[in-house]
Amino acid sequence: MPTAIESADAAAWKEPTPPSSRLRWLFLCVSVLLLALLLLSGALTVRFLGEMRTQELAATRALADRTRALSGLWLSIQSYDQAVQQFVAQTAADRDAEARRRLDQLTLEIASDFERYPRIRDSEEDALLNGMRHVFVQQRTMYITVLAARPAERRRQADNLAAEHLVPVQKQILDWSGKLQAWNGERLQHADRDLVSQFANLQGNLSRVLAVGFGSGLLLVLASMAFIVRLDRQTRARYVELARSQHALQQLSARLVDAQETERRAISRELHDEVGQSLGALLVDIGRLSTMLSDGPPEIRAEVKAQLDNLKSVAERTFQSVRNMALLLRPSMLDDLGLAAALEWQGREVSRRSQIEVSVDSESIPEDLPDEHKIYIYRLVQEALNNAVRHSGARNARVVAELKGESHNCQSIVVRVTDDGHGFDPARTRGMGILGMEERVKRLGGNLHVDSEPGKGTTVTAELPIPAAVPA
Amino acid sequence: MNQNSVKQTSVLLADDHTLIRAGLRMVVAAQPDLTVVGEANDGREAVAMAERFKPDVAVMDIGMPNLNGIEAARQIRAALPETQVVMLSMHSDEGYVLRALKAGAKAYLLKDSAEADLARAIRAAAAGKSFFSPAVGQVLLQDYMRRLERTGAEDTYELLSPREREILQLVAEGKSSKEIANLLNLSAYTVETHRANLMQKLNLRSVPELILYAVRKGIIS
């Protein structure tokens, strides 16, 4: 029956729909978006900073290249000038050819120096460079006319040349070169200014992103906190409700157990006192009638005696079954002999009825326990032994009931029922019987523990505190 | 009923059920050597009446209100050592029998066979002898045999010597060591030694347990 009721209950029980999950999804999406935003802006910033660094490097390298090219050019022009001066100053005709070759070579070098100047340049720089080249070309044209003269004439012209042409031209070249240098410096400054403004731009962007991220994060946090607080309140309310209903359920089941016990006791007493005693009296009377019969006439004696014997056996059988019913409902041993004797009796009774031999050790428990404790311990052992008989296939069972604790204030009774049957897995199998036992023990403030393993037998242990008001 | 020719045994009946008590009274009254001196309704009343009438035998139901039969028997035996107790019960279980014996009862009767054995039980108790309904011995023996068979233990009775068996029976019948010594032509000291040995062999701790054992083995009934 219990299983049928359980399955019916299970069918009637519906999974309650959990509170809306849409809000949760919303929170998740917003969080993910926020994280993505932060990640993206971080990545962009890193990339941008990298670009800025490359730009800066390019600008400084460009400046360095130009400066180097310019100084090389300057040096070449200087050497050319010197070579021209020497050429003009010398008179020996035999070395003329060699000096000319050297001049040509220097000219080539200067041309290549011009070529080596970085090709990437804007129109202004181009103009400056071309100006410089132009001055050099002018200078060279002038030199060529000088160089074409004979050595004697050249010497005559030499002083004149140095004073009138060389110095201004050199100054002019220096000017151009200085201009170019200044322009380069300006360009670097320009690039720096560019970078600074770009950086400021980036800073602004980053701050905006951070502000947006922080703001929405704050909103998200506030919203989730509100959500959590709401959930927490709901959970608390539900927990309280659950605890209350559990308590009510326990109360109810305890009352049921009590009511059952009272009812059983009443029926048992009724059976024992009324039906049983009437039958007992009947038996005594029948016995007396049979003895009195010996005085009667022999012809009716046999017939009446047979009738009486028949009556007697019927009455005896009824008497037995009434007695057994009464015992099942309420073990009169508990009232007549006390708990220890009742447990021993139960052990023998189970041994008689079943294949299990039960040994009971309960001598040490006090007899002045509250009635409630006695009946609970009795029922607990009854349930455990019944389980052992029905399910375990055990050959032996042992019931131990003993007093635990030294002082009178904190004593408890430990009841242990062990069998050597095939056991079960208590985590998976939890029958109505065990639940009922647990409920009973809990009601008295104790605890129940089922220890079993497939193939290892079963031990049911219960510990019940004894109320301090009852001296042990 | 000739009071001079037969020694009269006075009997107190205690049972909380009037019908049963009436039946018992008729059974007892039918015997010429037995006289009912009082009837009690519960244990407390039984103790009070016993103290008033000082009967030779008190016949007592175990399940009585206020004070149950076993407790009442203990009080009566303590106050009046001359009064013997016959216990009436619906149960043939060892727990009842042993506790009745420990409380000082001499005889143990089952209610469903009370009318047949009551007179014999009262007479045996009055003479200081034990008496048990035959069904009690049977149940005890069955329990004992089953336990031996299932636990594989050996029958301790086999361990006893013939002399010890003799003494076991005499002790179970209610005889003192001195009486046994006289009967067997032994010294009281020797009897005590035999008695201690046999109780140790049978793992018995008290005379009631010994009597129970004897009943179970069918040595006495």
The mean per-residue pLDDT over the stretch A162-169 comes to 72
B93, B70 contact by CB (below 8 A) = no
Residues of chain B contacting A342 with CB distance shorter than 8 Å: 95
pTM of the predicted model, to two decimals? 0.58
State residue B1's pLDDT score.
Answer: 43
CA distances from A59 to A113, A117, A221, A365 (A): 21, 15, 46, 101
Min distance A312 CA to chain B CA atoms (Å): 10
- Owner of token pair 């023990």: A441
Min distance A332 CA to chain B CA atoms (Å): 8
Q: Do B111 and A337 touch (CB under 8 A)?
A: no
Q: Which residue of B has its CA nearest to A344?
A: B95
Share of chain A above pLDDT 70, in %: 88
Interface of A with B in 338-367 (CB under 8 A): 341-342, 344-345, 348-349, 351-352, 357
State residue B84's pLDDT score.
Answer: 94
Q: Which residues pair with B110 in a beta bridge?
A: B89
Residues of chain A contacting B19 with CB distance shorter than 8 Å: 277-278, 280-281
Q: Do B63 and A336 touch (CB under 8 A)?
A: yes
B72, B24 contact by CB (below 8 A) = no
Summarised one tens digit per residue, pLDDT across range B96-106 is 888 898 899 99
Identify the CATH number of the domain defined by range B9-132.
Answer: 3.40.50.2300
Residues of chain B contacting A320 with CB distance shorter than 8 Å: 112
Checking if the pLDDT of B2 tops 50, the result is: no
A352, B143 contact by CB (below 8 A) = yes
Cα pseudo-dihedral A118, A120, A126, A130, rounded to 10: 30
Q: Which residue of A has its CA nearest to B24?
A: A284
Partner B contacted by A287 (CB < 8 A): yes
Partner B contacted by A41 (CB < 8 A): no
Partner A contacted by B151 (CB < 8 A): yes
Integer Cα distance of A461 and A415 in angstroms: 6
Q: Do B112 and A283 touch (CB under 8 A)?
A: yes
Residues of chain B with CATH 3.40.50.2300: 9-132, 138-216
Phi–psi pair at A470, nearest 5 degrees = -95, 115
CA distances from B54 to B11, B42, B47, B76, B82 (A): 9, 17, 10, 10, 8
Integer Cα distance of B219 and B166 in angstroms: 10
User: Which candidate from B24, B95, B151 shows the least CB-CB separation from A344?
Assistant: B95
Checking if the pLDDT of A120 tops 90, the result is: no
Q: Which residue has the higher pLDDT, A340 or A272?
A: A340
Q: In this structure, which amino acid lies at residue A469?
A: A
B152-188 as b/e, with b when 16 or more CB fall inside 10 Å?
Answer: eeeeebeebeeebebbbebbbbbbebebbbeeeebee
Using CB atoms within 10 Å of the CB of residue A10, give its burial: 0 to 12 exposed, 13 to 18 middle, 19+ buried: exposed
Summarised one tens digit per residue, pLDDT across range B114-125 is 778 899 999 999
Q: Where are the domains of chain A?
A: 22-221, 332-465
Predicted confidence band at B82 (pLDDT cuts at 50, 70, 90)? very high
Summarised one tens digit per residue, pLDDT across range B151-210 is 777 778 888 888 888 999 998 888 888 999 999 998 989 999 999 988 888 888 888 888
Partner A contacted by B90 (CB < 8 A): yes
Q: Do A335 and B68 touch (CB under 8 A)?
A: yes
User: Which candidate from A278, A288, A357 shows the least CB-CB separation from B27?
Assistant: A288
State residue A472's pLDDT score.
Answer: 42
Using CB atoms within 10 Å of the CB of residue A303, give its burial: 0 to 12 exposed, 13 to 18 middle, 19+ buried: exposed
Q: Do A283 and B111 touch (CB under 8 A)?
A: yes
Contacts of A318 (CB under 8 A, 6+ apart): A279
Residues of chain B contacting A332 with CB distance shorter than 8 Å: 63, 91
Predicted confidence band at B5 (pLDDT cuts at 50, 70, 90)? low
User: Which candidate from B93, B112, B150 shows the least CB-CB separation from A319?
Assistant: B112
Antiparallel, parallel or unpaired: β A396-404 and A357-361: parallel
Q: Which residue has the higher pLDDT, B3 or B19?
A: B19
Q: Do A357 and B146 touch (CB under 8 A)?
A: yes
Checking if the pLDDT of A252 tops 80, the result is: yes
Q: Do B20 and A273 touch (CB under 8 A)?
A: no
**Count of beta carbons in the 10 Å neighbourhood of residue A119:** 6
Partner B contacted by A273 (CB < 8 A): yes
State residue A67's pLDDT score.
Answer: 84
Partner A contacted by B213 (CB < 8 A): no
Predicted confidence band at A122 (pLDDT cuts at 50, 70, 90)? confident
Integer Cα distance of A190 and B40 in angstroms: 130
Q: pLDDT averaged over chain B?
A: 87
Residues of chain A contacting B114 with CB distance shorter than 8 Å: 280, 283-284, 287
Integer Cα distance of A183 and A117 in angstroms: 14
User: Which candidate from B26, B62, B95 shows the least CB-CB separation from A345?
Assistant: B95
Q: Do B150 and A357 touch (CB under 8 A)?
A: yes
The mean per-residue pLDDT over the stretch A291-305 comes to 77
Contacts of B12 (CB under 8 A, 6+ apart): B36, B37, B38, B39, B40, B46, B49, B50, B53, B55, B57, B58, B59, B83
Predicted confidence band at A383 (pLDDT cuts at 50, 70, 90)? confident
The mean per-residue pLDDT over the stretch A90-101 comes to 71
User: Which candidate from B94, B114, B115 shows the least CB-CB separation from A348?
Assistant: B94
Predicted confidence band at A3 (pLDDT cuts at 50, 70, 90)? very low
Identify the CATH number of the domain defined by range A332-465.
Answer: 3.30.565.10
State residue A14's pLDDT score.
Answer: 62
Integer Cα distance of A304 and A46 in angstroms: 121
A53-73 as b/e, with b when 16 or more CB fall inside 10 Å?
Answer: eeeeeebeebbeebeebbebb
Partner A contacted by B199 (CB < 8 A): no
Predicted confidence band at A234 (pLDDT cuts at 50, 70, 90)? very high
Residues of chain B contacting A341 with CB distance shorter than 8 Å: 95-96, 99
Cα pseudo-dihedral B194, B200, B205, B211, rounded to 10: -60
CATH class of the structural domain A22-221 = mainly alpha
Integer Cα distance of A233 and A27 in angstroms: 19
When scoring B16, B61, B111 by the number of chain A Cβ atoms within 10 A, the one with the most, hence best to mutate, is B111
Closest by Cα among A118, A125, A129, A127 to A58: A118
Q: Which residue of B has its CA nearest to A276?
A: B90
A158, A86 contact by CB (below 8 A) = no
Q: Do A283 and B115 touch (CB under 8 A)?
A: yes
Min distance A235 CA to chain B CA atoms (Å): 55
A317, A279 contact by CB (below 8 A) = no
- Owner of token pair 């046994």: B180
Interface of B with A in 49-88 (CB under 8 A): 62-63, 68-70
Phi–psi pair at A251, nearest 5 degrees = -55, -45
Host H or E run for residue B138: helix B134-151
Q: pLDDT averaged over chain A?
A: 81
A414, A401 contact by CB (below 8 A) = yes
Antiparallel, parallel or unpaired: β B57-61 and B131-132: unpaired
Superfamily of domain B138-216 in the CATH hierarchy: Response regulator (3.40.50.2300)
